Amino acid sequence: MQVVYERCCGLDVHKRSVTACALTPEGKAVRTFGTMTEDLLELADWLKGQGCTHVAMESTGSFWKPIYNVLEATEAFTLLVVNAQHIKAVPGRKTDVKDAEWIADLLRHGLLQPSFIPSREQRELRELIRYRQELVDERAREANRIQKVLEGANIKLSSVATDILGKSGREILKALIEGQTDPEALADMAKGRMKAKREELRRAVQGMIGDHQRLLLREQLRHIEEWMRGLHG
């Protein structure tokens, strides 16, 4: 079979270790490294010492990311992150060889199809966007939990307020938590456009809230405030 890359390496990646198999005209070299940054820098130096030009690894969970980051920063290698299912689909006696050796052999003969990996800047931006979306989703889930508690207390705040966690909604929730039950006083906390719905709001906040519901609301509102700090911090 034709050799496409004369000096290449396959990496078998795990949470705490990465096994590297380098294939060069001088022969095969296998070594295992840790996954701390210091260990990965040592891996990069070892690969340079072997004269490797191409390095391949499976996209195993998120374990490949720190290895990719370190090796990418050296600008010394062409990196291939390969879908594990693709490697399994390539014919061969995979059970008779170590994973790193198998990956290296496939790479050497140009049999690996790399996955698209965005640039570091794009990856970092994607992480930020995903984190923000997770916070937004968590806010929605927490709002639903608050709504269930209010419904259990006969308080129909969501029937009047579009967002029960808006400025008016949070003021009313805090007052309920502190023990305020007077519908007139609660309705007076309306702000902005909610003031036009004062009478409807007065009727909506007249309920039967108990101590355990106040406790739940306190914890849920605290969670929401932590979410807001995370989103805007």
- Asked whether residue 112 falls in the same domain as residue 149, the answer is no
Give 95's DSSP letter. G
161 exposure class (CB count in 10 Å sphere: 0-12, 13-18, 19+):
buried
Residue where one domain finishes, among candidates 117, 142, 167: 117
Strand partners, 169: none
Which two structure tokens, joined as six digits, stand for 213?
């519901």
Query: Which pLDDT score is estimated for 137?
Result: 86
- Tokens 């023990």 correspond to 179
**What is the four-CA torsion angle of 40, 45, 51, 56, rounded to 10 degrees?**
10
Same domain, residue pair 130 and 208: yes
Residues 20 and 107 in one domain: yes
134 and 40 in one domain? no
**Phi/psi of residue 118, nearest 5 degrees:** -65, 165
Q: Has residue 172 been placed in a domain?
A: yes
Q: Which pLDDT score, from 0 to 100, does residue 95 have?
A: 41
Which tens digits make up the pLDDT trace of 158-195? 899 888 888 899 999 999 999 999 999 999 999 888 89
First to last CA, the chain: 56
Cross-strand partners of 8: 23, 54
Note down the domain range covering 202. 125-232
- C-alpha of 71 from chain center: 22
Please give the pLDDT value at position 86. 67
| CATH number of the domain residue 48 falls in | 3.30.420.40
Which of the residues in the chain have pLDDT under 70?
86-97, 230-233
Domain count along the chain: 2
Mark whether 62 and 138 lie in a shared domain: no
Question: pLDDT tens for residues 99-109?
Answer: 899 999 999 99
Distance, in Å, from the CA atom of 51 to the CA atom of 40, rounded to the nearest integer, reads: 17
Give the predicted TM-score (pTM) of the model.
0.62
The answer to whether residue 2 sits within a structural domain is no
Regarding whether 19 and 110 lie in a shared domain, the answer is yes
56 within domain boundaries: yes
The sign of the torsion formed by the CA atoms of 52, 58, 62, 63 equals negative
